[in-house]
Structure 1
Amino acid sequence: MQQLEANQQDPTLENIVLLADRNTSVQQWSRPTVRLYRSAILFHIENQRIAGIISSEDAAKFEKLLKSLKGRPGRSERTSAKKAKHANELAIKRLAEKLDSSRSTVAVLAKRLFLSSVMVGLRPAEWFSAQLDDDKLVVKNGKSTNGRGTGEYRTIDLRTPVLMIDRQKIKFIENTLSIIQAASSPDKSNAELMTDIRQVVRRCGITSGGRNITIYTARHQFSANMKAAGLSKREIANLMGHASPNTASTHYGRGVSGHQSFRQRKAPGVVMENRT
């Protein structure tokens, strides 16, 4: 394919892909920027393929080119490279023990938030508006603008077999929500509270695969568990609130890192409720 100048051509899908290739080749885009645009373009490619606008062969060609793009290293790339995208059972146990012995006022909440997020995959900030209704977790999507989410809200049925959440775990999640409500204060914003939680988890110094476990590692581990259980890309996207089925497969924990209990069973599909 011939390189094209974006300002001289109509914004066709091919021109967009070529522009991404050019900007990456001359290292104008950092790796985080490449990941952002690649995810958006892959989502558009999949929609055009489904609609019959482009052929499966062209879609595969564009996807192959996009997935080969690297970009230049950036500061955020170096930072994210140090963060764990999975946490095995032993690492989670060690983190819980560290938080149990911590004197931080948010240690209990940090522990519950991490363990609950491994179960259901919420973004940390999504817990502050989440509500439990008849064993269903109603979540306000953290990224619902510009078509990035599956609507303004998503509903996760905690009784769905693939999640392997029993009554005791549902009660644990319910108590986590209660503790979050109790921790909320007019004197401290949710963002400030999340900063404290991130810091106490980081200070625990627990690693997985040579990388530091963060509060967001729990969401990565949830993704890995769902992949290990055999869910499709779309089912995982619905659970995690992603508009694109490629986001989790590109940026989140891999199925090989799924916990043993999920690898041992290939669960049936998940029916999700998403609404605006």
Structure 2
Amino acid sequence: MDAENSNDTADRRNRKTQNQYAARARALIRQYRAVAGDEQSVQGLVGWLIARRRAGLYANATWRQYRAAINATLPGMGYDTSALFDKDVRPPPPDRDARRRKRRVKAIGVGGRAAFEEALTRMRKRRATLIRAWMEAGIRTGLRPSEWETAILDTSGAPPILTVQNAKRSNGRGHGPLRRLALQDAETVYWVQEHLRAVREAILEGGFARYYRQSRLGLAAAYRRAGIRHGPSLYSARHQFKIDAMAAGVSRWDLAYLMGHGSTLTAHDHYGRGGTRTNPFTVAPARAPDDPEPDIREHDPRIRFAPRPGRAPDSPGSSPGSRPSSAAGGHDGRTSGDGQ
């Protein structure tokens, strides 16, 4: 069985992830039972999922989530789910125009900003103020919503340093336990301080998870009241951060550091769809002098596989696993991509 299909990584999943996988697997099993009638089996479930994938009913991200949920649940009970990982389990090429119409915008952009502002008018003033601060701070720093719970801002020096615990650092997804961002302008510092103040108060009153859930659901409800089908979420701020950073010429290596990724390919593949630049880039990498060099794998998005042994890399001065020369010295509080 392929390493991706192995349950050897199960012990590295935290309890929350395991519970999410189990809940998703139960939901899929209920859907399968509703259409299977009396002919129900695990292999029937696997075949049903594959058929729906081949019919184009599951997008790539959805398919990965469903496949991971089933594979995290059933093999431990002695069932074989290896067919879910066959290379031919893929839908036919979609109609490009239809795909363009259905593709959900993940960033913010001009239209998303207008939708967000309209949603804020459908909230109570206090809730709107808190959510605005969350969105503005996220656009300028690129933090995942969950990472704000433990983020710390140190304003004792210049520039102020925001220390973030990387949320996804298992299985090589992150470059280490921490990343440190130098906040370059007063506006960014203001929004980060406002949001962190609200987060600290929420933790004392009812916990961060409760605050995050209320904010997320409150924003979604405001969109519904405004008659907006798809508006930017709190996570959209992280996607917009990637777009603004790339527009400012930040190198792939520095962008991976800023977003907490273990590979320069992650932001290219999964972030910043359907948005336009909305803000000047206002943060840059910052590491304490005694911090270890982050382990970030360098990938050219045009080349999915490393060069063969003895073959020179296509891009001079860079190779998988090495930091590109354009990022050298980029941890001194300046935007490393300036001038590129």
TM-score, scaled relative to structure 1: 0.61
1:124 paired to 2:145: yes
The corresponding residue for 2:113 is 92
Q: Is the alpha carbon distance of 1:146 and 1:174 closer, same or farther for their aligned partners in structure 2, counting shifts above 3 Å?
A: same
Percent of counterpart pairs with the same letter? Answer: 27
Deviation at 1:35, TM superposition (A): 6.0
Q: Deviations over 1:78-100 (max 9, x none)?
A: xxx77531212453254245325
2: CA distance, partners of 1:72 / 1:250: 19
| Contact 1:34–1:70 (8 Å) recurs in 2 | no
- Greater helix share, structure number: 1
1:32-181 aligned within 5 A = 32=61, 71=90, 83-89=104-110, 91-96=112-117, 98-99=119-120, 101-103=122-124, 106-134=127-155, 135-159=160-184, 166-181=185-200
Q: Deviations over 1:247-269 (max 9, x none)?
A: 11001004x8332654xxxx8x9
CA displacement, residues 89-114 of structure 1 (integer Å, 9 cap, x when unaligned) = 45325424532551286432222111
Alignment CA distance shift 1:101-1:233 (3 Å): same
C-alpha deviations, 1:155-208, integer Å up to 9, x for none? Answer: 00112xxxxxx213312211221121112235x33222211111112123289x
Do the aligned residues in 1 keep the contact of 2:154 with 2:162 (CA within 8 Å)?
A: yes
1:218 to 237, 244, 254: 237
SS at match of 1:248: helix
**RCO (CA 8 Å, sep 6+): is it higher in 1 or 2?**
1
Q: Which amino acid aligns with 2:272?
A: G
Residues 112 and 231 of structure 2 are in contact (CA less than 8 Å); yes or no, is this contact kept in structure 1? no
Is the CA contact (8 Å cut-off) linking 1:83 and 1:214 kept in structure 2? no
Name the CA distance, whole Å, in 2 between partners of 1:156 and 1:84: 27
Cα distance in 1 for residues equivalent to 2:238 and 2:229: 18
Question: Is the contact between residue 180 and residue 286 of structure 2 (CA under 8 Å) also seen in structure 1?
Answer: yes
Q: Matched residue of 2:223: which SS?
A: coil
Closer, same or farther: CA 111–25 of 1 in aligned 2, 3 Å: same
Cα deviation, residue 152, structure 1: 0.7
In structure 2, the CA distance between the partners of 1:125 and 1:106, relative to structure 1 (3 Å rule), is: farther
Q: Structure 1 residues 230, 98: closer, same or farther in 2, change over 3 A?
A: same
Instruction: Indicate how the Cα distance of structure 1 residues 139 and 271 shifts in structure 2: closer, same or farther if over 3 A, else same.
Output: closer
Q: Give the deviation of 1:225 after TM superposition.
A: 1.0
Question: Equivalents in 1 of 2:241, 2:122: separation in Å?
Answer: 25
Which residue number corresponds to residue 270 of structure 2? 251
User: Matched residue of 1:222: which SS?
Assistant: helix
Letter in 2 for 1:156: L
The answer for the alignment partner of 1:31 in structure 2 is 60
Alignment RMSD, CA only? 3.9
Q: Specify the code of the residue in structure 2 equivalent to 1:153.
A: L
Question: Structure 1 residues 139-148 or 124-133, which shifts more?
Answer: 139-148
1:139 counterpart SS class = strand
Decide whether the 8 Å contact of 1:107 with 1:197 is kept in 2: no
State whether structure 2 residue 210 is matched by structure 1 residue 185: no
What letter is aligned with 2:223? G
Residues 258 and 285 of structure 2 are in contact (CA less than 8 Å); yes or no, is this contact kept in structure 1? no
1:151 counterpart letter in structure 2? G
Aligned length: 206
Normalising by structure 2, we get a TM-score of 0.51
For the Cα contact (< 8 Å) 1:154–1:241, is it kept in 2?
yes
Q: Identify the residue that residue 80 of structure 2 maps to in structure 1.
A: none
- Mapped partners of 2:212, 2:109: distance in 1: 23
